[in-house]
Amino acid sequence: EIRHVRARAVWDSRGRPTVEAEVELADGSVGRAIAPAGASVGSGEALDLRDGGDALGGFGVDRAVGNVKGEIAAALAGHDAADQQAIDKLLTELDGTPQKSRLGGNAMVATSMAVLKAAAASAGLPLYLYLAQGRGMSVPLPQIQIFGGGSHAAGRVDIQDFLVVCANAGSVADAFRKTAEVYRSAGELMAAAGKRHGVADEGGWWPDFDSNEQVLDALMRAIEGAGLMPGDDVFIVLDIAASEFGSKGRYTLGLERRTLDTDGLGELLGRWIERYPIVSIEDPFAEDDEAGFRAFTAAYGHRVQIVGDDLLVTNAERVKAAASKGLATCVLLKPNQAGTVSEAVAALEAAREAGFATIVSARSGESEDTTIAHLATGWNAGQIKVGSMSRGERTAKWNELIRIEEALAGSARFAGWEGLKIERR
Ligand code: PGA
Ligand code: ZN
């Protein structure tokens, strides 16, 4: 039974305020969670409530914090924290808007996750075990960023994420070791070229390049420089985040001073699939480009995972529609896109129903909160995407996965290649 709901403004990894919610139950159990925040935001996402005005660039969350302490705390008092669906329904109805703009998606997701964590604490279980409820679990395959880009690097290159997966690694700890070698090697390569200028928002190296394809070449050299085999030890993953540089079938690659139509962008990505060991491409087209997604999934969906992020915004109805139209093969799950844990679970279940793969994902604005490491494991999602091998808000999640893998030794395996739902290479 929920006794107190508290909230406060804390800081995220971009130096912006965000909402922390804290839920205390009658038995003294406490759950605490911090809302993350995106930069490349899908138009269908739950909306964060920000204060506006001049202070903190308008990013203040005093109103959202006030909503948790006021209306939300009053509504949740006395309710059963173990009935997550009822809690989330109550929150959603209390808000009453299609995109949670009244109370704020930030207020709601922090509260929803804090309730979940309080319930797990009350059950005396780590969150991943509480979520699994005796069903199968696996330690997720991590997609790890090596170079940042797009809106996470001031548009220095157009493509947002250049990542790797060590799909044939023996454990998540082994995947981190190999990826750390690639990350180090990429840093040395940038330093040698006089282009090491620090890191982007998710910890990947700052992308000082003259074309988007140059980043892929650098990534290949970094993998080889680490003594690893591209297409065997290490595979490439891209998040194009195409909504950030295109709409209505026109895509402007600012770095290369050229504009492509849907077919042109599809051909470019198709050439990259032929030339590089790519296993997954996220948001290859803008969220309004269904024709692009459909044709691309038909052409490449059998060999490369086609991931919907801005396209699907962790929404079960959108996932079902995408499945029936053949727009993607994998769903990115970001709890704060949905706004409550239960709605994220509904998107997960819709993905399962459709035979889609799933990736639990952080946002570019993050904190030390490690909830998503537990969600990815307990939900048996198969994959997780959190950013790079640097910056504490990223490594907090990776380090939690190392602890989880150790605790689960013998009782749950590393998802590895099985996390991807494509033919093994
Ligand atoms: P965001 O980026 O958190 O800025 O939306 C993450 C992603 O696009 O996957
Ligand atoms: Zn994305």
pLDDT tens by residue, 32-91: 999 999 999 999 999 999 999 999 999 999 999 999 999 999 999 999 999 999 999 999
195, two tokens: 């282009």
- Residues contacting residue 33 through CB under 8 Å, at least 6 positions apart: 20, 21, 109, 110, 111, 112, 113, 114, 116, 117, 369, 371
Helices 290-300, 316-325: inter-axial angle, 10-degree rounding: 60
In angstroms, the CA 359 to CA 140 distance is 9
406, two tokens: 């150790």
187, two tokens: 């840093």
* pLDDT number for residue 240: 98
pLDDT category of residue 110 using cuts at 50, 70 and 90: very high
Q: Ligand 1 pocket, 363 CB below 6 A?
A: yes
Active-site annotation holder among 100, 117, 334, 397: 334
* pLDDT number for residue 308: 98
Compute the mean pLDDT over every residue in the chain, rounded to the nearest whole number. Answer: 98
Q: Give pTM, 2 decimals.
A: 0.98
Per residue, the 3-state secondary structure of 120-144, as one string, reads HHHCCCCHHHHHHCCCCCEECEEEE
Q: Catalytic site residue 202?
A: yes
Q: Ligand 1 pocket, 14 CB below 6 A?
A: no
pLDDT category of residue 392 using cuts at 50, 70 and 90: very high
Looking up tokens 């799909």 gives 167
Residue range 366-387: mean pLDDT, rounded? 98
Is 134's pLDDT higher than 90? no
In the three-class reduction of DSSP (H, G, I as helix; E, B as strand; rest coil), residue 270 is classed as: helix
* pLDDT number for residue 12: 98
Residues around ion ligand 2, judged by CB within 5 A, are 239, 282, 309
Q: Catalytic site residue 334?
A: yes
Is 385's pLDDT higher than 90? yes
75, two tokens: 């509504």
Instruction: Calculate how far, in angstroms, residue 239's C-alpha sits from the geometric centre of ligand 2.
Output: 6
What is the DSSP-derived secondary structure letter of residue 352?
H
Considering only CA atoms, which of 331, 339, 341, 336 is closest in space to residue 309?
331
In angstroms, the CA 213 to CA 48 distance is 34
| 8 Å CB contact between 162 and 149 | yes
Per-residue pLDDT of 194-211, as tens digits, reads 999 999 999 999 999 999
Per-residue pLDDT of 266-277, as tens digits, reads 999 999 999 999
Q: Ligand 1 pocket, 367 CB below 6 A?
A: no
* pLDDT number for residue 410: 82
Per-residue pLDDT of 304-360, as tens digits, reads 999 999 999 999 999 999 999 999 999 999 999 999 999 999 999 999 999 999 999
What is the DSSP-derived secondary structure letter of residue 233?
T
* pLDDT number for residue 32: 98
Considering only CA atoms, which of 317, 307, 323 is closest in space to residue 269?
307
